[in-house]
Structure 1
Amino acid sequence: MNRLKGCALATAALVALLATASTLAEQPSAKPVQEVKIPLNYLPFDLKGYLRRPDGNGPFQAVILLPICGAFLDSVDQNWGAAIVSWGYVVLTLDVFTARGIKSGQTCPYPAPPETVEDVYQALNWLVAQQNIDRNRIFLVGFGRTGTVALSTVERDVATKAKRRFRGAVAFYPACGTNKGVMAAASLVIVGALDENRFEACRKMAEGNDDIGISRQHGEGIPIEFVALPDAYSGFDVPQYQEPVEVHGVHVEFSKAATERSKEILQRFLRAVGQ
Structure 2
Amino acid sequence: MRLLFTVLFAMLLMSAARAAPALAPQAIEIPLASGALHAQLYKPDGDGPFPTVIALHGCGGLGGHSDPVLPRYRDWTEQLLKAGNAVLWPDSYGSRELGPQCRVKDVHVKARRERVADIAAARSWLMKQPWVARDRVSLIGWANGASALLWAVRPQNAGRDGAPDFRAAIAFYPDCRISAGLGWSTRVPTLLLIGGKDDISSPPACRQMVDGAYGRSALARIVVYPGAYHDFDRANLPLHAPASSPDVATPDRGHLGTDTEARADSQKQVAEWLAR
Q: TM-score, normalised by structure 1?
A: 0.76
Instruction: Report what 2:48 is aligned to.
Output: 58
Give the match for residue 35 of structure 1.
26
Contact 1:33–1:53 (Cα < 8 Å) also in 2: no
Residue 194 to residue 77, structure 1, CA distance change in 2 (3 Å): closer
Q: Secondary structure of 2:233's match?
A: coil
Is this contact kept in 1: 2:54–2:138, CA < 8 A?
yes
169, 185, 189: which is aligned to 2:188?
A: 185
By percentage of residues, which structure has more helix? 1
Secondary structure of the residue aligned to 2:255 is strand
> Could you tell me how far 1:71 is from its partner in structure 2?
4.5
Structure 1 or 2, whichever has the larger Rg, is: 2
Candidates 188, 192, 197, aligned match of 1:194: 197
Flag the 1:51–1:189 CA change in 2: closer, same or farther, 3 A. Answer: same
% identical equivalent positions: 26
Question: Is 2:172 aligned against 1:172?
Answer: yes
Instruction: Tell me which residue corresponds to 2:263.
Output: 259
Alpha-carbon separation, structure 1, partners of 2:97 and 2:151: 22
Tell me if the contact between 2:171 and 2:192 (Cα under 8 Å) persists in the aligned partners.
Answer: yes
Distance 1:89 1:134 in 2: 10
| Rounded Cα–Cα distance in structure 2 between residues aligned with 1:220 and 1:108 | 36
CA distance in structure 1 between the aligned counterparts of 2:161 and 2:206, rounded to whole angstroms: 25
- Report the secondary structure of 1:70's partner residue: coil
CA distance in structure 2 between the aligned counterparts of 1:192 and 1:108, rounded to whole angstroms: 24
Counterparts of 2:209 and 2:192, CA distance in 1? 10
Task: List aligned pairs for 1:1-275, cutoff 5 A.
Answer: 33-44=24-35, 46-68=36-58, 69-72=60-63, 73-104=69-100, 107=103, 112=111, 114-159=113-158, 161=160, 164=163, 165-179=165-179, 180-195=183-198, 198-208=202-212, 216=213, 218-239=214-235, 241-246=237-242, 247-272=251-276
**TM-score normalized by the length of structure 2:** 0.76
The aligned length equals 233
Q: Which amino acid aligns with 1:255?
A: D
RMSD: 2.5
Runs of 4+ in structure 1 deviating by more than 4 angstroms, as ranges, are 105-111, 160-164
Amino acid at match of 1:120: I
Compute the displacement of 1:256 (Å): 3.0
Structure 2 portions without partners, runs of 5+: 1-22, 64-68, 243-250
SS in structure 2 at match of 1:104: coil
Structure 2 vs 1, CA of residues 105 and 114 (structure 1 numbering), >3 Å: closer, same or farther? closer
Counterpart residue type for residue 266 of structure 1: V
